[in-house]
Amino acid sequence: MKFEIKDSYVGDVYILFATEDEYIPSDLNTIEDGLAASLTPMIEASRFRGKAGQTFEYTPSGEGPKKVILLGAGKLSDDNAQTLENYGGFAVKSTLMSGYKSIAIKGTGAEEDARILAGARLASYRFDKYMTKLTDDQKPSVETVTLVTSAVEAATKAYGPLEAAVQGTELARDLVHEPPNVLYPASYADRIRELEALGVKVTVLGEKEMTELGMHSLLGVGQGSVRESHMAIMEWNGGGDEAPVAFVGKGVCFDTGGISLKPGPNMQDMKGDMGGSAAVVGAMKSLALRKAKANVVGLVGLVENMPDGNASRPGDIVYTMSGQTVENQNTDAEGRLVLCDVLWYAQETYKPSAIIDLATLTGAIIVSLGHDNAGLFSNDDTLSGQLTAAGLAENEPVWRLPMGSSYDKLLKSQFADMKNIGGPAAGSITAAQFLKRFIKEGTPWAHIDIAGVAWKSVDKAPTDPAWASGFGPRLLDRLIKDNYESA
């Protein structure tokens, strides 16, 4: 699909922005002199009042658009960016399958109009590559989306970086959607290598290298799988000689639970257990596309958690790369066993100025926060504040939960330095406490548990259709933009 910005109307369908304060937009008159006045009786007779989600359609005769749609955007507020994105998303959603080939969306004439196009692009996302029997009617008809704005230059400039962020989201969605027979550690690493074309330095380690490094905890998770485990490292050096920010992602390509096998129903969802890594890979793509002036390194641990004759058992004790030992009491608490080695490797190798990990780590975070906020855990108030602000700005909200030594104590093991589960209480927090044991003193760290937001079975918003949300790239890209680069 093509997305463009122009200063005048083109296309089959013309979509106009209506608010509760101006639900009969004067822009109607740019289509045809006096159109606003002549449509007024029809609009007044309907229930259309510009409320969010309301639509009013009109089929003009003669030249010009074949269809005019007024889209309600509700009340404009401080949260304009969000309103505009939803408006663009809704415009696409209401026309995508309509049969019309081109749509034009009227902007408000401001630089932020770029958000409309970003929303439109997010809403146009589809993952139907494995659908072999779609009829023409079941495929999108819209080929071109044009944003119409008087601020073409400003909106075009603003759209560049927004589009980069959206492309990161699209990549993350694609990776999460791919089935686990297609996307497994080695094939995933191949997908990551494609970022080299954008100037990202990619290094992939296999089991031999990771054994030499002592990453026995990560390797233990993958040892029941016939697929080789990998760690992929993506370096983007767009800054000076400052230490990089590190992003770390859980890339469990499929999580059966291992010997602590998960129940059957919905186990297919566990193809998305690499959502944290997808967020990191998507973010690296966004940063590279917009040539961010910052140093960022992304590291993802790629494994498959399978039950097998060679699988790790409850009771096993492994040496992590840090030297600390872990008693495995539940092979389904595998994400932390992967992350602890990748976190340690990242700190040893890059001495990052901050380290942020993302993971679909616990079912408990869904109990706590549902599907609307990711869980945030941090040892640093500043980093925590930056992530909270970035999440609000990009509509990928994170909500901080507490940590502390009383939770940490729950990880005590009789036979090793710690065990990999806490117990029934505060499951997301004890998981975070586990990770914190692998963070070096003085390193600002944040852990984002995205188990509740990485996917959902129903459409959440026009810009966020079911299933994979692609949560993460926009949050991380914004974090870097606002805090780690010079303008």
Q: Binder to ligand BES among 205, 364, 374, 410 (CB under 6 A)?
A: 364
Return the number of the residue (113 or 273) whose C-beta is nearest ligand BES: 273
255 binds ligand BES (CB under 6 A): yes
Count of chain residues binding Zn ion (CB under 5 A)? 4
Contacts for 134 with CB less than 8 Å, ≥ 6 apart: 128
* CA proximity to 283, closest of 122, 382, 170, 375: 170
Q: Binder to Zn ion among 85, 273, 304, 408 (CB under 5 A)?
A: 273
Interhelix angle 275-289/185-193, rounded to 10 degrees, is: 10
- The residues binding Mn ion (CB under 5 A) are 255, 332, 334
Q: What is the DSSP string of 448-480?
A: EE-TTTSEESS--BTTB-SEE---SHHHHHHHH
Return the number of the residue (215 or 270) whose C-beta is nearest Mn ion: 270
Return the number of the residue (116 or 421) whose C-beta is nearest ligand BES: 421
174 binds Zn ion (CB under 5 A): no
Query: In this structure, what is the dihedral angle of CA atoms 460, 462, 463, 468, given to the nearest 10 degrees?
Result: 40
Choose from Zn ion, ligand BES, Mn ion, none: what does 449 bind? Cβ within 5-8 Å by kind: none
Output helix, strand, coil percentages for the chain, rounded to the nearest 5: 40, 20, 40
Stretch that binds ligand BES, among 177-185, 326-334, 338-346, 368-376 (CB under 6 A): 326-334
Kind plus residue range of the DSSP H or E element containing 329: none
The distance of closest approach from Cβ of residue 352 to ligand BES in the complex, given in angstroms and rounded to an integer, is 25
Q: Retrieve residue 87's tokens.
A: 């408006």
CB-based closest residue to ligand BES: 363
Stretch that binds Zn ion, among 115-123, 265-273, 338-346, 423-431 (CB under 5 A): 265-273
Interhelix angle 114-123/152-177, rounded to 10 degrees, is: 20
82 binds ligand BES (CB under 6 A): no
Contacts for 358 with CB less than 8 Å, ≥ 6 apart: 247, 248, 249, 250, 275, 276, 277, 279, 280, 447, 448, 450, 472
* CA proximity to 281, closest of 160, 381, 366, 183: 183
* CA proximity to 249, closest of 335, 372, 333: 335
Binding mask 411-440 for ligand BES (x = CB under 6 A): ----------x-----x-------------
Which regions of 222-340 does DSSP assign to beta strands (E)? 230-237, 245-255, 295-305, 317-319, 325-327
Neighbour count for residue 400 (Cβ, 10 Å): 16
Distance CA 284, CA 200 (A): 8
Return the number of the residue (255 or 396) whose C-beta is nearest Zn ion: 255
Q: Binder to ligand BES among 103, 333, 340, 429 (CB under 6 A)?
A: 333
User: Active-site residue 262, yes or no?
Assistant: yes
Q: Binder to Zn ion among 12, 85, 178, 255 (CB under 5 A)?
A: 255
The distance of closest approach from Cβ of residue 455 to ligand BES in the complex, given in angstroms and rounded to an integer, is 8
* CA proximity to 189, closest of 227, 215, 221: 227
Question: Facing residues of 56 across strands?
Answer: 70
| Contact assessment for residue 183 and residue 191, using Cβ atoms and an 8 Å cutoff | yes
Instruction: Quote the distance between the C-alpha of residue 27 and its chain's center.
Output: 35
Looking at residues 89 to 148 of the shown chain, list those that interact with ligand BES (rule: CB under 6 A).
none
CB-based closest residue to Zn ion: 255
Q: Retrieve residue 189's tokens.
A: 């690493």
The distance of closest approach from Cβ of residue 297 to ligand BES in the complex, given in angstroms and rounded to an integer, is 24
Choose from Zn ion, Mn ion, ligand BES, none: what does 465 bind? Cβ within 5-8 Å by kind: none
Q: Binder to ligand BES among 225, 286, 347, 362 (CB under 6 A)?
A: 362
User: Active-site residue 67, yes or no?
Assistant: no
* CA proximity to 279, closest of 368, 400, 383, 361: 361
Return the number of the residue (65 or 335) whose C-beta is nearest ligand BES: 335
The distance of closest approach from Cβ of residue 130 to ligand BES in the complex, given in angstroms and rounded to an integer, is 22
**Given the residues 115, 250, 290, 336, the one annotated as active site:** 336
The distance of closest approach from Cβ of residue 254 to ligand BES in the complex, given in angstroms and rounded to an integer, is 10
The distance of closest approach from Cβ of residue 59 to Mn ion in the complex, given in angstroms and rounded to an integer, is 53
Q: Binder to ligand BES among 170, 174, 334, 464 (CB under 6 A)?
A: 334
Measured CA to CA in angstroms, residue 49 lies from 16, 38, 208, 318, 407 at distances of 13, 17, 65, 63, 52
**Given the residues 262, 293, 400, 437, the one annotated as active site:** 262
273 binds ligand BES (CB under 6 A): yes
- Kindly list the catalytic residues: 262, 336
Residues that bind ligand BES (CB under 6 A): 255, 273, 330, 332-335, 360, 362-364, 421, 427, 451
Residues that bind Zn ion (CB under 5 A): 252, 255, 273, 335
